[in-house]
Chain A
Amino acid sequence: MDFLTFVQILDAALRFATPLLLACLAGLFSERAGIFDIGLEGKMLVAAFLAAAVAATSGSVWVGLLAGIAGSLVLALVHGLAAITFRGNQLISGVAVNFFASGITVVVAQSWFAQGGGTPQLSGAARFPPIIWPGALTKIRELREADPLTQIYSELVSGHAVIVYAALLLVPLSWWVLYRTRFGLRLRAVGENPAAVDTAGISVVRLRFAAVLIAGVLCGIAGAYLSTALQAGFSKEMTAGRGYIALAALIFAKWRPWHALWACLLFGFLQALALRPDVLQDLIGVKVQGQLLDALPYILTVIILAGFVGRAIPPRAGGEPYVKER
């Protein structure tokens, strides 16, 4: 394997990691506030569809992005209503959100575009274009002959959609919000011990809704990225379990932003490798089944959950509706 191939795989890993990272941060905000969210998948899916559909119709990817976020927010509100207002089962609510998304996207897509549950191919201003950094090489022939640093700069650093960079910036931003602001302090507190927040005179309901809505926005961006940047249009079930991988990454990261980045990059890398089994075989000399790579995020997560490699302790009040009591 030459160096350029390796850089290309890393490049793919970064692109695959982006939606995982956004969804993972979404889950992080929600679960840090004590609301389990297995509906990441559904919110992403609805956002992916709406972003592509509105971008295709309006011709503007930015309008599409907003529509995607709005769609994801609606599902987030439903989840908030069930989990916070009516103190329902957060897991069942998440399951319902996911099914609703996988149904509604196809039904609406079919009625809107009649293209087998997808949207038309997006092009031009209806997609997020790659941002080419100054001096980056774009021609594959030039790239092949360039030195490694240029290769890294041109292939890995340059040439991504704006959302990729935004997602990366969101990691320090999330960290900063969680650990350096009043809101973050309260958010983390409400996921650990809502009674402490309540007796301190802060509304548990409002805080938790804020967290759920932030998750909605981030899932919206993640979904929009899938259909308007990673791919050129929406297709049925295009999230393909990414919401669950993000959930796995969240557990893997033990609910911390920087660790979420590493976990998502790792899982993105596994996805990229699964597309290049030849490279992997060259690298380690043994044939590794693609299916094993597919399953690896889940297997790793189960091992983490079982506490065999460091224990993943979720926020203590996670999944529990808050009922005031002495």
Chain B
Amino acid sequence: MTDPVLELTGISKSFGPVQANKDISLRVMPGTIHGIIGENGAGKSTLMSILYGFYHADSGTIRVKGREVQIADSQAAIAAGIGMVFQHFKLVENFTVLENIVLGAEDSALLRPSLARARTELRALSDDYGLSVDPDAVVEDIGVGMQQRVEILKALYRRAEILILDEPTGVLTPAEADQLFRILDRLRAEGKTVILITHKLREIMDITDTVSVMRRGEMVASVTTADTSPEALAELMVGRKVLLHVDKAPATPGALVLEVEDLRVTDAKGVLRLKGVSLTVRAGEILGIAGVAGNGQSELLEVLGGMRAGTGRVRMDGQGIDLTGKHSDGRTRRARGIGHVPEDRQREGLIMEFFAWENVAFGYHHAPAYNRGPLMDQAALRSDTAAKMTRFDVRPSNPWLTARNFSGGNQQKIVVAREIERNPRLLLVGQPTRGVDIGAIEFIHKQLIALRDAGAAILLVSVELDEIMALSDRIAVMFDGQIMGERLPGQTTVQELGLMMAGMAGKAA
């Protein structure tokens, strides 16, 4: 039996009160592809950042090829033979491929000999691993798949023995992903060790030799891939959480409120984020969108909330909604009766420097009730805030505190109170309980159900599967900018949804 090429023992890391990694141990054998899988926030990225010298572990040891190493910075990681391909590439976009590869690994003060050697070596690497790239192409002119190859080549050029890839297929087309896997196969054949961080079960099953599962900062299992199944992994990943129980009567769906057809969104980099999404939400029902973060849910909420433009058709109560962004924004959406509890309350839903009473008007600051003539009616706002704080049990119930001074749960309650109490026809809700304490979760869930029972249509996006299961009347699963399918909560399982979220079609609907 050979020795592990990488061995972590007892790695822990906290950010303030949050423990991102708890006593993590991991052994990776040379010449293998090792998968690390887990939900968002499970601590995968933190662990890898420790390996690459971005963070320092609070405790624990790292051994590479049996030797204990201290990884103080990226340079030390490179010296230890670790290479990293970040989810967001670290390339200089207006440099050529060759320049990017040489940067930081030059032979001497003059560039020409370094570049010449790199060119030769690049050719050799390309031949060895099937990684062909044009060394003189400028990075911003080549596709994402190519850019990723450049990142891999950068690591190989620095003699990396262990290559870590963080969610490498997130930005790739299926064809590009297949090419990447062929490259990884080749790397393994040549004796390199690959660590693949992903949330996609199909990738784990297809390519890895061994797999570790992380959940809530802990390493819950390390198994040989051949000995496990996607179902088993999905269960490990999601855990046997105590299912949240929310008292709710069966929904009595009414008229169609929201109709979305073939909705597409392209981001600033020209990547298609929503690839033709169609869905409907009726009055008096909650449609839950399940999915791992980054599969287009954010874009869906943003385009419906008027924060970004898209194409396709969206109707609200049968009336079309402008998606170009030219004739509409968050304000006109609100005027149509669309409330929006955004995914990121700190960057979107609240102004952290504003007092609670100022935040209660946020987005509704034109409302007649909040204004008196040309001025904002601060007295009315403050009394409204105080009333909302009582009704929603916001603590401390002081309208004069800035948003920053409330805990996550109380910040969220302010946002939820603001949006729900406008009695929206349609409420868009993103991650309503992210970073929120148990008591507040229960409270917010009850409020959402009450709003549903009052006849509002609710579109709920959450990466917390049990939240989706507990609240939704119907569940749609999003993966890679598309709806994978719809299920009824009573007729599906967490396991099935987990498979769909990981891009594998569930049982035939």
How does the 8 Å CB contact mask read for B102-137 relative to A, with 1 for contact and 0 for none? 111110111110100000000000000000000000
**Residue B248 lies at the interface, judged by CB distance under 8 Å to chain A:** no
- Output the least CB separation between B501 and chain A (Å): 23
Chain A interface: which of B83-91, B207-215, B377-385? B83-91
- A185 touching B111 in the complex, CB below 8 Å, given contacts A193-B91, A200-B103, A316-B93: yes
Chain A stretch 120-166: residues in CB contact (< 8 A) with chain B: none
- A326, B92: Cα distance in complex, Å: 16
Give chain B residues whose Cβ lies under 8 Å from the Cβ of A199. 52, 74, 84, 86, 90
- A sample of 23 cross-chain residue pairs with beta-carbon separation below 8 angstroms, ordered by A number, consists of A179-B111, A180-B110, A180-B111, A182-B106, A182-B111, A185-B102, A185-B106, A192-B92, A192-B93, A192-B94, A193-B91, A196-B100, A197-B103, A197-B104, A199-B74, A200-B74, A200-B78, A200-B90, A201-B73, A201-B78, A201-B104, A202-B75, A324-B54
> Which of chain B's residues have a CB closer than 8 A to the CB of A196?
90-92, 100, 103
Interface size in chain A (residues, C-beta < 8 A): 23
Q: Could you mark each residue 178-211 of chain A with 1 if its beta carbon is under 8 Å from any beta carbon of chain B, else 0? A: 0111111110110011011111111000000000
Residues of A within 8 A of B (CB): 179-186, 188-189, 192-193, 195-202, 316, 324, 326
C-alpha gap A196/B94 in the complex (Å): 12
* A180 CB to nearest chain B CB (Å): 5
Cross-interface CB contact of B45 among A192, A198, A326, cutoff 8 Å? A326
Interface membership of B392, Cβ < 8 A? no
Cα–Cα distance between A188 and B90 once the two chains are bound (Å): 14
**Nearest 3 pairs of A and B residues by beta carbon:** A200-B104, A201-B75, A182-B106
- Write the chain B residue with the least CB distance to A186: B103
Q: A residues within 8 A CB of B92?
A: 188-189, 192-193, 196
Number of A-B contacts defined by CB within 8 Å? 73
- Residue in A181, A197, A199, A316 whose Cβ sees the most chain B Cβ within 10 Å: A199
Chain B residues whose CB sits within 8 angstroms of the CB of A185 once the complex forms: 95, 99, 102-103, 106, 111
Taken together as a complex, chains A and B put the C-alpha atoms of A185 and B106 apart, in Å, by 10
**A182 interface neighbour in B74, B75, B110, Cβ under 8 Å:** B110
Interface membership of B49, Cβ < 8 A? yes
The closest CB in chain B to the CB of A179 belongs to B111
- Shortest C-beta distance, B66 to chain A (Å), equals 23
Q: How far is the CB of A181 from chain B (nearest CB, A)?
A: 6
Per the bound structure, the CA–CA distance linking A182 and B112 in Å amounts to 9
Hey, what's the 0/1 contact readout for B234-260 against A, CB within 8 Å counting as 1? 000000000000000000000000000
Q: How far is the CB of A251 from chain B (nearest CB, A)?
A: 17
Minimal Cβ-Cβ distance residue in A for B46: A326
B95 contact set on A, CB distance < 8 A = 185, 188-189, 192
**Cα separation A324 to B94 with both chains bound (whole Å):** 21
Q: Are B93 and A193 in contact (CB under 8 A)?
A: yes
Cα separation A305 to B45 with both chains bound (whole Å):
40
For chain B, residues 48 to 81, give those with C-beta under 8 angstroms from any C-beta of chain A.
49, 52, 54, 73-75, 77-78
B94 close to A200 (CB less than 8 A): no
Nearest CB in chain B: distance from A325 CB, A: 8
Q: Which residues of B contact A324 (CB under 8 A)?
A: 54
With most chain A CB atoms within 10 A of its CB, the pick from B52, B75, B92 is B92
Chain A residues with CB under 8 Å of B91's CB are 193, 196
Closest chain B residue to A189, Cβ basis: B92
- Contact yes or no, B109 A186, CB < 8 A: no
Instruction: Assess the B93–A200 pair: CB atoms within 8 A.
Output: no
Contacts of B93 in A (CB 8 A): 192-193, 316
